[in-house]
């Protein structure tokens, strides 16, 4: 018997197959539902009392009042949920033993992983942008009922901050894809992701001064400054910070491609 041929399999075929697999997973839909329920729930709870904080704020604090950033702080939890989605794009097949089947159907490993990366980027970019716009609109709607300053999409810097939030979440998802590929286990990849986005920024003050510059490009630190409309003196160039984070994510993905190609499964 001759071996099955895959010469007619194109990248579009592989991408379509990955989309079918992803949408057939109940965990995918559970994660997306959780993303919006938790994300918008946090926005509703936090913004319902934001007006009282403004009314009791000092004159200096009112100068830094940023209603856009306040309504987008849901990203802190949303990035963890969307990271889970990025991880299971890869690790779900390791958990079920289907990765060997996928590699048999698509022996060109770089093509298989590239399809997963493209699919994860597309799905999380759409989900992240929808969440950020929904969180912004909900947050500003709640502020209008509290008789305090609020923002509109047409205000300076607002659209860039909201769109930047969606890009930030998509970058976190791609980081999660890379971690899932390298570690091949959901728990290990998730623990590493939690350390990256929460533990390292929290301990940044303990690092030697030579490493302090890394904070400028770190998730939930300099890179997240893009979600604000009021300039942060610590991060005066937030889009450069986000770009630096994306370069770091790209480095993780390159490592993932190398590891995925060299090991047995």
Residue 192 makes CB contacts below 8 A (sequence gap 6+) with: 179, 183
DSSP label of 245:
H
Measured between alpha carbons, how far is residue 223 from residues 53, 71, 150, 227, 237 in Å?
Answer: 26, 17, 24, 9, 9
Which tokens in the block code for residue 4? Answer: 């099955």
Task: Identify the residue with better confidence: 211 or 130.
Answer: 130
Residue 59 makes CB contacts below 8 A (sequence gap 6+) with: none
Q: What is the mean pLDDT of residues 179-205?
A: 90
Q: What is the mean pLDDT of residues 212-237?
A: 87
* pLDDT at residue 208, as a whole number: 67
Q: What is the mean pLDDT of residues 78-95?
A: 94
Crossing angle for the helix pair 158-183 and 186-194, nearest 10 degrees? Answer: 140
Q: Which of 203-207, 236-240, 258-262 has the lowest mean pLDDT?
A: 203-207
Asked if residue 1 has pLDDT above 70, the reply is no
């Amino acid at each position: 018997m001759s071996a099955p041929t895959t010469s007619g399999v194109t990248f579009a075929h592989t991408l379509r197959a990955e989309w079918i697999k992803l949408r057939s997973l109940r965990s995918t839909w559970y994660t997306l539902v959780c993303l919006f329920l938790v994300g918008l729930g946090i926005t509703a709870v936090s913004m319902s009392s934001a007006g009282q904080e403004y009314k009791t704020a000092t004159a200096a604090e009112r100068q830094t009042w940023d209603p856009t950033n306040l309504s987008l702080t849901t990203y802190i939890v949303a990035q963890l949920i969307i990271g889970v989605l990025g991880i299971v794009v890869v690790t779900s097949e390791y958990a079920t033993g289907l990765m060997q089947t996928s590699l048999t159907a698509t022996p060109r490993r770089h093509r298989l992983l590239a399809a997963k990366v493209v699919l994860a980027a597309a799905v999380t970019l759409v989900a992240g942008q929808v969440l950020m716009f929904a969180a912004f609109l909900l947050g500003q709607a709640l502020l209008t009922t509290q008789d305090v300053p609020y923002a509109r999409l047409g205000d300076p810097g607002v659209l860039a901050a909201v769109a930047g939030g969606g890009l930030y979440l998509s970058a976190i998802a791609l980081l999660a894809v890379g971690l899932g590929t390298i570690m091949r286990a959901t728990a290990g990849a998730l623990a590493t992701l939690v350390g990256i986005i929460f533990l390292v920024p929290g301990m940044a003050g303990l690092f030697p001064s030579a490493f302090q510059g890394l904070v400028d490009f770190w998730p939930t630190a300099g890179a997240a400054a893009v979600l604000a409309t009021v300039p942060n003196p610590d991060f005066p160039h937030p889009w450069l910070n986000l770009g630096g984070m994306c370069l770091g994510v790209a480095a993780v993905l390159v490592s993932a491609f190398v590891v995925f190609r060299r090991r047995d499964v």
